[in-house]
Amino acid sequence: MIKTLEYNNEKIHYKLQRKNVKNINIRIKNNIVNISANNSVSEKYIEDILFSKWDWLIKALNKKENIFLQNKEYKYISGEEFLYLGEKYCLNVIKANENKVILNNDLNLYIEDSKDTNTMKRILDNWFLNEMDYVFKDSLKRNYPLITAYTKVKPKLKYRKMTASWGNCRMPSGIITLNKYLIRTPLNFIDYVMVHELVHLVHQNHGKNFYKLLEKLMPDWKIKKEIGNNYN
């Protein structure tokens, strides 16, 4: 049963589930606050906790998903939108004698069999992988000279899909792993992420010295960071 709380002209809908758990667990899903608690916890006590977390809950409920990080399922039909370097491109499926991708005003997918979604997915995935390899390596080439005065470590790039971060840097190996979804974002955000990870070659945590060096190498990093993290 879904119940409603109201405070300061704002409403929260919550659903309480009784479970054999030690703590009161709160999760948000589909704009509903889902709570699990054992039978010894009164509903009034639970509502008091919700009121104590009211500002956080309202903020979490109103937060929009970053479209750059959406794990979207595609049908690979003309008209679907794909993100590339911060721009939206409509997929245009064209029957042809060879399989290839050409980007202009649209994302043109030339395909022998327009009903073979597995082949279309493979072709587009390979195209995006080639693009990210070129774009990310170019960003590293342009930004690596910024850090050479502070470290001699030569980084290596890897790519994989991530849900909670844009990248990470492992030391002492110097391996920088970038989120594959980063290719969806504008180039200046990609450069920000690259410089951020390069600074980790020198400072492995996010302490004062990390941000001091980041500020020195990229004075407008805060502006560039907002481009990717607040796009929806």
Is 28 within the bounds of a domain? Answer: yes
Question: Are 25 and 50 in the same domain?
Answer: yes
Residue 2: burial class (beta carbons within 10 Å; 0-12, 13-18, 19+): exposed
Question: Are 146 and 186 in the same domain?
Answer: yes
Domain that holds residue 194: 137-229
Question: Are 151 and 204 in the same domain?
Answer: yes
Predicted confidence (pLDDT) per residue in 63-77, tens digit: 666 777 777 889 999
Q: Would you state the structure tokens that stand for residue 4, as one six-digit string?
A: 């409603």
| Buried-state track 25-58, b at ≥16 Cβ within 10 A, e below 16 | ebeeeeeebebbbeeebeeeebbeebeeeeeebe
pLDDT band at 7 (very low <50, low <70, confident <90, very high): confident
Question: Are 23 and 84 in the same domain?
Answer: no
Q: How far is CA 108 from the centre of its chain?
A: 25
Asked if 182 and 131 touch (Cβ cutoff 8 Å), the reply is no
Question: Are 207 and 144 in the same domain?
Answer: yes
**Nearest to residue 33, comparing CAs of 13, 50, 47?**
13
**Number of structural domains found in the chain:** 3
Q: Round to whole Å and give the CA distance between 126 and 57.
A: 40
Q: Which residues pair with 177 in a beta bridge?
A: 158, 168
Predicted confidence (pLDDT) per residue in 163-191, tens digit: 778 999 999 999 999 999 999 999 999 99
Q: Round to whole Å and give the CA distance between 39 and 122.
A: 51
Q: What is the pTM of this model?
A: 0.72
Tell me what pLDDT residue 232 has: 45
Query: What percentage of the chain has pLDDT greater than the value 70?
Result: 97
pLDDT band at 58 (very low <50, low <70, confident <90, very high): confident
Q: What is the DSSP letter of 105?
A: S
Q: How far is CA 227 from the centre of its chain?
A: 12
Question: What radius of gyration do the chain's Cα atoms show?
Answer: 23
Question: Are 58 and 75 in the same domain?
Answer: no
- Domain boundary among the residues 101, 126, 151 is at 126
Is 88 within the bounds of a domain? Answer: yes
Question: Are 72 and 57 in the same domain?
Answer: no
Tell me what pLDDT residue 22 has: 86
Is 207 within the bounds of a domain? Answer: yes
Q: What is the DSSP letter of 181?
A: G
Question: Are 154 and 214 in the same domain?
Answer: yes
Mean pLDDT of 211-231: 89
